[in-house]
Amino acid sequence: MILKSTRKYISLLIVLLVSFSSCKKLDDVNPTDTIDPSKAFRNVKDLDLGLLGTYAYLDYSLIGSNAIVSDEITVPDENTVSNTEAYRWLYNSGSGSVTSAFNDYYIAIDRLNRVLAAIPAVEAVGADLTLKQRYQGELLALRAYCHLELLRAYASSYDNGALGVPYMKSSIISYPARDKFEAVIANIKADLIEAKDLIPASFNDRTRITRTAVAAIQARTALYERNWAEAVSYSTEVINAVPLASRTQFPQIWTDQSDAEVIWKLKRVGSDSRIGAFFFRETGGLVLYAPSFELINSFDQANDIRYSSYITYSPNRGAGKSAYLVKKYIGGDAAAPGRADVKLFRTAEMYLIRAEAEAELAPQAAGADLNTLRSARIQNYASETFAGKEALITAIYQERFKDLAFEGHRFFDLRRRKLPVERLPQDAVNAVGAVKLEPTQAQYAFPIPAREISVNRNMEQNPNY
C-alpha cells in the first residue's frame, strides 16, 4: 500500500506544526488513531500551517541519487564512509539510496491530500477567501509536482503504456495499482490547470509555488510527455516572466545572495539538512562525491561562469584526496557550509526545454535559444550554427549536462532519449566495472521499494528486478 501517516496526535498544535508523522503498514493502522481533518483545520491559518508542513517535507533525495547513478560525479578514494552501491549500479528494491524518495514523496502527498480534504469545510470571506483559494492552488500544484518527480524516477519508461506510479488524490487506505504513464501525465496536467486559476498573478514568493512556478512545472511535464507545442508555450510563459541571470548575478544564486532566474526553491534554515553535505562532509573534510572529469572537461574553464560557480579546484588537499569539489551547494554561510537553498526550477531549464521542443518543431529557433543561454554564461561567446536536428539535440543535451549539473536531471535526461549512461575510465576508477549502463538493464529505472511490493498486492515491480 502507499504508506500512510498514522501516529496519534497529542494536540491540535502538533497536527498543524508537523502536519503528519510516521508511517505504518495497513495491519498496523487503527482507524480511530487519526484526527478528522475537519477538526484539525478549522480556519484559513490552519490550512496554511498544513501546507507549510508539506513544503517542509520536500527534500533533495532525487538530486543526490540522480547524480550518483549518472555521469556527473566520480567517487574518490577518500570516500570510505558513504554507500557506493548506487554508483556501481548494484541497487535493488531494498536499496534505500534509490528507493527512499518513493516513500518520502508519497508521505508529502498524503499530507497535502489531508489538507485539501479539509478545505471545503473551512469558511472564509474577503481576503481570507483569496488566501484559501491560493493555498488550494499551491496544494494542487504540489500534488502534481510530487507525482511528476515520482514518475521521472520510477516509471518503467517515459512512453504511453509504460508502468507509471499510483496517482493519489486522497488519503484513503488502499492498495493502489500503478497507473500508466499517460494517465499520470493527464492527472498532473489537470491538477496544474486547476492550480493555476487559483493562485493570484501578484503572488511572488519564490519559496512557494507561484503561478509562474506552475507554468514551469507544466513545461517540464510537457517535456516528458513529448508534447512539444505545450513545452514551447509554457516555457515561453516562464521566460517572459523571469529573465536569465547576468554573469555577475549567476555566482550569487549559489551563495543565496541572489534569486536571479530562480523560479521556485526550497528555503534551508537553522537545523535543516544541508544539501552540500551530500557531496562533502565538514567533519573530516571528506569529499564524498567529486565532479566527474567528463563534466569538468565539458566547460570552457577560463570563460564559462558555471565552471567557477559549480566546481572548486584545490590541488593541495593531499595525497589520495580529490583535487575537485562540488562547489554549487556550498551556500553563503561559512558557519554552515553546504546549507544552501535548493533550487528546484530556474529559467535556464526553461530555455533548454524550449530549445529541445523547438528542435522537434523549428530547429532555427532552437539554435537561437541555445545561443542566448550560452551568451549569458560564457564570456565573449560567438553564436554557433547547427547542422540539423540531431546535432542540435546533442548540443542541447550537452548544455543541460553543464547548466543543470547536480540539480537532479542528468539520469532522467538520458532515459528520455533512451541513451546509455557512459562514464569515462577515469571517472569509474572505484566503480568496479560500472562504466556503461544500457537501457535494457534493470537499473536503468529505479525499483519500487521492496516493502511496497510486499504489502501492496496490486503493486508491480519494474522489469528485470
Quote the cell numbers at residue 188. 498532473
Is the torsion defined by CA of 340, 345, 351, 357 positive or negative? positive
| pLDDT tens for each residue of 88-115 | 999 999 999 999 999 999 999 999 999 9
Residue 38 has a pLDDT of 64
Residue type, 191: D
Residue at grid coordinates 491560493: 134
Instruction: Band the pLDDT of 296: cuts 50, 70, 90.
Output: very high
Residue 283 has a pLDDT of 77
Cα–Cα–Cα angle for 278, 282, 287, rounded to 5 degrees: 55
Q: For residue 135, give the H/E element and its range.
A: helix 127-154
Residue 25 has a pLDDT of 36
Q: Which residues of 337-353 are buried (b: 16+ CB within 10 A; e: fewer)?
A: bbbbbbbbbbbbbbbbb
Residue 351 near residue 244, CB atoms below 8 Å: yes
Residue 248 has a pLDDT of 96
- In the chain, % of residues over pLDDT 90: 85
Instruction: Band the pLDDT of 174: cuts 50, 70, 90.
Output: confident
| pLDDT tens for each residue of 404-444 | 999 999 999 999 999 999 999 999 999 999 999 999 999 99
Q: How far apart are CA 383 and CA 314, in angstroms?
A: 33
Residue 320 has a pLDDT of 86
- Rounded to two decimals, the pTM is 0.92
Supply the Cα-derived Rg of the chain in whole angstroms. Answer: 22
Quote the cell numbers at residue 82. 558513504
Residue 2 near residue 108, CB atoms below 8 Å: no
For residue 17, is pLDDT > 50?
no
| pLDDT, averaged across the chain | 91
**Do 1-22+39-60+86-200+431-459 and 243-329+344-419 come out as alike in CATH topology?**
yes
Residue 192 has a pLDDT of 98
Name 147's Cβ contacts closer than 8 Å, sequence gap at least 6.
Answer: 105, 109, 165, 167, 168, 184, 187, 188
Contacts 24+ apart (CB under 8 A), 4-7: 4/29, 4/110, 4/171, 4/173, 5/34, 5/107, 5/110, 5/111, 5/114, 5/171, 6/30, 6/33, 6/34, 7/33
Q: What is the mean pLDDT of residues 211-235?
A: 98
Residue 28 has a pLDDT of 35
Instruction: Band the pLDDT of 334: cuts 50, 70, 90.
Output: confident
Residue 363 has a pLDDT of 80
Domain ranges across the chain:
1-22+39-60+86-200+431-459, 243-329+344-419
For residue 217, is pLDDT > 90?
yes
* Pairwise pLDDT comparison (10 vs 149), residue with the higher score: 149
| pLDDT tens for each residue of 250-274 | 999 999 999 999 999 999 988 899 9
Residue 23 near residue 5, CB atoms below 8 Å: yes
Residue at grid coordinates 548575478: 249
Quote the cell numbers at residue 124. 472564509
Residue 371 has a pLDDT of 96
Name 396's Cβ contacts closer than 8 Å, sequence gap at least 6.
Answer: 352, 355, 356, 359, 366, 370
Q: What is the 3-state secondary structure (H, E, C) of 266-322?
A: ECCCCCCCCHHHHCEECHHHEECCEECHHHHHHCCCCCEHHHHHHEEECCCCCCCCC
For residue 20, is pLDDT > 60?
no
| pLDDT tens for each residue of 21-74 | 333 333 333 333 345 666 789 999 999 999 999 999 999 999 999 999 999 999
| pLDDT tens for each residue of 380-410 | 999 999 988 999 999 999 999 999 999 999 9
Residue 110 near residue 168, CB atoms below 8 Å: yes
| pLDDT tens for each residue of 112-142 | 999 999 999 999 999 999 999 999 999 999 9
Instruction: Band the pLDDT of 12: cuts 50, 70, 90.
Output: very low
Class level of CATH domain 243-329+344-419: mainly alpha
Nearest by Cα to 162 from 143, 178, 138: 178
On whether the 1-22+39-60+86-200+431-459 domain is CATH 3.30.300.30, my answer is: no
Instruction: Give φ, ψ of 377 to 5 degrees.
Output: -110, -30
Helices (H), 12-85: 12-18, 37-40, 44-57, 61-69
For residue 16, is pLDDT > 80?
no
